Structure 1
Amino acid sequence: MSDLHRPRSREQVVQRMLLALSSGTVLDPVNFAPTNYIPGDPLRTLLEIAGEGVADIERLVWALGEGGYLETAQGSYLDELVESHYLLSRQGSTFARGQVRFYAAAQGGMTLPAGMIVGTAYGLKYVTTAEAAVEAGGSADVPIHAESPGTAYNVPAGTITQIHTPLPGLSVANLPGWLLEAGADEESDASLRRRASLRWASLGGGATRAAYEYWALTASPAVDRVAVLDQHPRGQGTADVVIWGTGGIGADVVREVNDSIQQRRPVTADIAVYAATERVVPVSIELYAPLGDRASIEAQVMAGLSALQRELGIGGTLYQAAVVEVAMLPAGVLDARVGMTDLKLGRAEAATLAPTISWRGTP
């Protein structure tokens, strides 16, 4: 689309008007000398207003043109396109849901009301959704619901340790496997385009690799990565659908995706659906930015690593060069040293990056 039409800016339109007026091809050049059109002049102001109107129309034409194609449509234009052509809608954000374990001291038991607030040391909060009785010196598992939607609440085990509605002698922790349903961010344009491009494969007879991928991605917004192992992993006629999402995949999501695929698979196909095996990858980064804002740089690097983790597919390869590129991107970074080598994941593995950032030199 950009090769066919490039919308002009207001300045470009105004300059073209000035050129036309001064050329003598439109009006008498004596009455419209270009030196009269200085900023603040009434006639120049009128040209600026007209130029903005023309530029706005050209931007609209460009947006309408891009909005007609899956590869270029963005935002609300993409929403309208996939709804009318692919019968799809953008998946919204969802809340993380899981359970934590409360521990009572030996002095006495207690009854915990629903609505207690627990959280992490860095400010993420969760609300308990059921009452529970904890015996003296004992423990109880209580379901919790994230305060807000999004992948940020899919935290690792051992990080929910704060009780914001404290009771004497009570402590809390989230154990491995605590996450029952991962939270999800609103579906991005890239993810929506991908699902739409896979839509056609699901309409034919039988089932292709693309069809299984589409069914898995559509069954739950928590799923953002799918690998289809179709080389008879468990014997002739078998295929595995491995799923993963940012922060992990809960058991409820696996059941939801499995139910969706089992209803659609060919009768003769033996399909297994399961979550990828999480592989925690330590990534040490030493930055040199003598004049940069360390807090801002560190936030940008962490955001870049999160994006890199999402883009790394199940069974993919994490390249050292990609991590270096993320570390060097923030303004002010002059050098970055990454303590890792290229890493090839197993065919059913998904990477979770565990970065540690240090600094070389004094601020």
Structure 2
Amino acid sequence: MMALVELPDIQFVEQDVDTVFLELVTVFQGITGRTLNRSDPEMLVMRAFAQLFVQQRVLINQVAKGELLRYARGVILDYLGEPNTPRLQAEPAVTTERFTLSIPLVTPQIIPAGTRIAPDGAEGTIMFATREAVTIPAGNTTVDVLIECLTPGVIGNGFLPGQLTTLIDPLPFVASVTNLTTTAGGADTEDDDSYRERIRMAPESFSTAGPEQGYIYWAKTASAAIVDVAAITEKPGEVTILPLLEGGIIPTQEILDAVTEKVNSRKIRPLTDKVTVQAPGVVPYDIVLTYYINRERAAESAVIQAAVIKAVESYALWQKSKLGRHINPSELISKIMNAGALRVEVVSPVYTPITDLQVAQDANINVTFGGLAND
């Protein structure tokens, strides 16, 4: 993420009610030639008008600030990104599906584009379909083809290998179908924060010299599911790109292929660069800790325990949502303390440096409530 310049909060028009009230009194006295006393009824009227004017000025400030990239949201942000950096729309999850024939055939067997497959027990609530037509050559019994979820978004993510086995559109001689990889890459429409960051990085994409931020920008455009990208060069002319998916998910081969196709475009990659896209290395760690709650807050114990569990989950997500983020138990302790714990005894993790080629992921989580304690 590009570092932001430290700037003060901007205010286009004055919105302090006392200042506006004094302005109204000054104008009134200047026009009428009267000096108002605190008990004059005109003072109450102008106080009411001051409240109304301040509400309008607050709206003016919000609208004016919304035209700046740092504050823009929603459709205004879409206009700021248009036309060179459009918002990434929702994308379907993808995986590789294998079609297997019951016997080898003497003629090629066509698997049409749009052939639908569903997971067992889904009852039609979620389906996948082949992106393109493929052919099983004569004498062969299998073919692998890319399939995508018919419902864009994260709903199609997370189906493990061997779970997409129901062929909705029967085909002659096709005995079975199964997915070879976990479905991934499904993403909802790009949120404002991610979109704002891409707009800010867009000027880097104009360069044809292969800058680091330029490669990161183009890699992120390959899928809305990508939340972080590292572009590393260890030898002149050789670039390694490592994408990371939302929720700290390691990209599947299908996502890696999509990024590879994007960054190797003739209009993006310098001819002298050799660009390789690979998944980041995983550094596993365990969360093992015991926490205590202040005895004076015993009545809140159940609420605090639930908040601590959410804090641990929040930490695990934070830790794996960025490449090169060091394993930091201080962040874990901070979140648990903010959730209401009196003190925390952490056995694991310990502080561990992580390189830009790696991402830390929680393996086992063991959180123990140690009971009530005194300050």
Q: 1:36 to 1:70 in 2, by over 3 A?
A: closer
Instruction: Structure 2 unaligned segments of length 5 or more: list them.
Output: 1-6, 99-115, 131-143, 167-177
- The answer to whether the aligner puts 1:248 opposite 2:250 as a matched pair is yes
**Alpha-carbon distance in 1 for matches of 2:151, 2:292:** 37
Q: Summarize the alignment of residues 36-115 of structure 1 with structure 2, pairs less than 5 Å apart.
A: 47-48=47-48, 50-83=49-82, 87-98=84-95, 114-115=117-118
Q: So what's the TM-score if we normalise by structure 1? A: 0.67
Partner of 2:202: 199
- The answer to whether the aligner puts 1:295 opposite 2:309 as a matched pair is no
**Alpha-carbon distance in 2 for matches of 1:35, 1:358:** 65
Is the 2:88–2:190 Cα contact (8 Å) retained in structure 1? Answer: yes
Aligned with 2:153 (options 149, 154, 157): 149
**Alpha-carbon distance in 2 for matches of 1:147, 1:307:** 27
- The answer to whether the aligner puts 1:333 opposite 2:341 as a matched pair is yes
Q: CA deviation at 1:317?
A: 1.6
Q: 1:15 to 1:361 in 2, by over 3 A?
A: farther
- Amino acid of the residue matched to residue 252 of structure 1? E
Q: 1:206 to 1:3 in 2, by over 3 A?
A: closer
Q: CA deviation at 1:259?
A: 0.7
CA RMSD of superposed structures (Å):
4.3
Q: CA deviation at 1:126?
A: 7.6
Q: So what's the TM-score if we normalise by structure 2? A: 0.65
Is the 2:316–2:361 Cα contact (8 Å) retained in structure 1? Answer: no
Aligned pair count? 307
Percent identical residues: 19
- The answer to whether the aligner puts 1:258 opposite 2:269 as a matched pair is no
**Alpha-carbon distance in 1 for matches of 2:345, 2:223:** 38
Instruction: Structure 1 unaligned segments of length 5 or more: list them.
Output: 38-42, 102-112, 120-124, 132-140, 164-173
**Alpha-carbon distance in 2 for matches of 1:302, 1:114:** 33
Q: CA deviation at 1:77?
A: 3.2
Partner of 2:352: 343
Partner of 1:137: none
Q: CA deviation at 1:257?
A: 0.8
**Alpha-carbon distance in 2 for matches of 1:240, 1:267:** 15
- Amino acid of the residue matched to residue 370 of structure 2? R
**Alpha-carbon distance in 2 for matches of 1:155, 1:245:** 12
Q: Deviations over 1:221-261 (max 9, x none)?
A: 122211112121xxx53221111112221221111110111
- The answer to whether the aligner puts 1:273 opposite 2:284 as a matched pair is no
Q: CA deviation at 1:88?
A: 1.3
Partner of 2:370: 360
Q: 1:80 to 1:305 in 2, by over 3 A?
A: farther
- Amino acid of the residue matched to residue 287 of structure 1? Y
**Alpha-carbon distance in 1 for matches of 2:188, 2:345:** 31
Partner of 1:167: none
Partner SS, residue 243 of structure 1: strand
Q: Deviations over 1:150-207 (max 9, x none)?
A: 3x8754969x8xx9xxxxxxxxxx99x7324323344333322322222112212321
Partner SS, residue 219 of structure 1: coil
**Alpha-carbon distance in 2 for matches of 1:25, 1:57:** 23
**Alpha-carbon distance in 2 for matches of 1:2, 1:352:** 36
Is the 1:285–1:337 Cα contact (8 Å) retained in structure 2? Answer: yes
